């Protein structure tokens, strides 16, 4: 059974993020029965220093990052057969159908005018948040051989397992962006939620893999510095754990979107921080169109 609102958004009943739902029901316990691919994911390797990554081009000869990587072949399962059993508060991600009215996602004005209200409505409806603050959007277009954050080039798909915010940097984002309201807002529940979608159908190149948060141990998450010119943010790098269970959406369509739980101040739920990464799908045709995607990055506020 489905319900639909005026922007063409669709989700399975009951409400997607009810944390009481499915703490490992029959569908999710039979993960080995799901179609899957095997692909290499880049985890954080052994470190003697705090992991660090510069969010800008560094001086010639200076390392962009001090991180070492620990690649592992992982099974990445097709989430479509069980997508209605997944939720933001349990696994940390949810697949929704939403036919956007945006004609050109590369037009910033149209994205802000048309897509921002659509994203706000989806996130409010799925999470029950009373307020959603969109702080930016990010488009990526894969270019073979181009490093991410290269001057003059498009942003590239992220190729290491990570979480964009931490227990420290999630609340700090509220203080940075809404300083006059921050302490009042932080008395209630605050979530960092991304809305991610491909810009054409079907997406076959560099799809997004998401990890079931229930399979992630707290010690797998390593606070890491993300250094900007004017500030230092904090993300989680992720260490390998054979218990991790990974999912993706094969041949994802333009009228589908993934909601991603980046951070959550609520502590009594399975999913607070959800690792994710792009990956090289071994079934991708050699002539597949290079990935183009957009993610809307938001703060979702709930009353205290």
- Residues 187-207 have pLDDT tens digits of 999 999 999 999 999 999 999
53 DSSP β-pair partners? 65, 226
In a domain, 82, yes or no: yes
Instruction: Quote the pLDDT of residue 11.
Output: 54
**CB-based contacts of 90, cutoff 8 Å, min separation 6:** 19, 21, 22, 23, 213, 214, 269, 270, 271
| Banded pLDDT at 161 (limits 50, 70, 90) | very high
What are the strands, taking DSSP E only, across the chain?
A: 2-4, 9-12, 36-44, 52-54, 69-78, 93-98, 131-141, 162-163, 190-198, 208-211, 221-227, 232-238, 246-248, 256-264, 276-278, 292-301
| Number of domains within the chain | 1
Lowest mean pLDDT among 52-61, 99-108, 151-160, 259-268: 52-61
In a domain, 229, yes or no: yes
In a domain, 150, yes or no: yes
| Banded pLDDT at 7 (limits 50, 70, 90) | very low
Report whether pLDDT(17) > 90. no
| Banded pLDDT at 138 (limits 50, 70, 90) | very high
Greater confidence, 147 or 51? Answer: 51
Instruction: Quote the pLDDT of residue 9.
Output: 56
Greater confidence, 30 or 272? Answer: 272
Task: Provide, rounded to the nearest whole percent, the portion of the chain with pLDDT above 70.
Answer: 90
Task: Please say whether the beta carbons of 237 and 222 come within 8 A.
Answer: yes
Q: For residue 61, what are its two tokens? A: 């000869």
| Banded pLDDT at 26 (limits 50, 70, 90) | very low
In a domain, 155, yes or no: yes
In a domain, 55, yes or no: no
| Banded pLDDT at 301 (limits 50, 70, 90) | very high
In a domain, 81, yes or no: yes
Q: Is 37 left (phi over 0), alpha (psi -120 to 50) or beta?
A: beta
Q: For residue 251, what are its two tokens? A: 């041949």
In a domain, 124, yes or no: yes
DSSP 8-state assignment for residue 226: E
Domain around 114: 2-12+69-301
In a domain, 56, yes or no: no
**Cβ atoms within 10 Å, residue 40:** 13
**CATH number of domain containing 92:** 2.60.120
């Amino acid at each position: 059974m489905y319900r639909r609102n005026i922007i063409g958004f669709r989700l399975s009943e009951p409400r997607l993020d009810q944390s009481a739902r499915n703490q490992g029901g029959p569908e999710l316990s039979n993960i080995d029965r799901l179609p899957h691919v095997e692909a290499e994911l880049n985890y954080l390797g052994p470190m003697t220093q705090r992991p660090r990554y510069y969010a800008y081009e560094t001086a010639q000869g200076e390392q962009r990052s001090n991180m070492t990587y620990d690649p592992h072949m992982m099974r990445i399962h097709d989430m479509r057969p069980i997508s209605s059993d997944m939720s933001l508060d349990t696994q940390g991600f949810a697949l929704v159908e939403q036919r956007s009215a945006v004609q050109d996602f590369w037009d910033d004005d149209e994205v802000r005018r048309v897509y921002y209200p659509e994203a706000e409505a989806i996130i409010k409806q799925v999470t029950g948040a009373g307020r959603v603050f969109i702080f930016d959007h990010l488009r990526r277009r894969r270019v073979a051989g181009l490093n991410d954050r290269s001057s003059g080039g498009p942003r590239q798909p992220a190729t290491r397992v990570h979480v964009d915010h931490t227990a420290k940097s999630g609340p700090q984002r509220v203080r940075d962006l809404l300083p006059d309201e921050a302490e009042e807002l932080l008395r209630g529940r605050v979530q960092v939620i991304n809305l991610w979608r491909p810009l054409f159908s079907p997406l076959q190149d560099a799809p997004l893999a998401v990890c079931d948060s229930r399979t992630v141990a707290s010690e797998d998450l390593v606070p890491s510095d993300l250094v900007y010119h004017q500030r230092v943010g904090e993300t989680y790098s992720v260490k390998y754990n054979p218990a991790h269970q990974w999912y993706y959406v094969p041949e994802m369509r333009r009228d589908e979107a993934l909601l991603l739980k980046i951070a959550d101040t609520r502590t009594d739920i399975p999913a607070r921080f959800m690792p994710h990464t792009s990956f090289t799908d071994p079934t991708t045709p050699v002539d597949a169109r290079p990935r183009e995607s957009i993610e809307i990055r938001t703060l979702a506020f709930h009353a205290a």
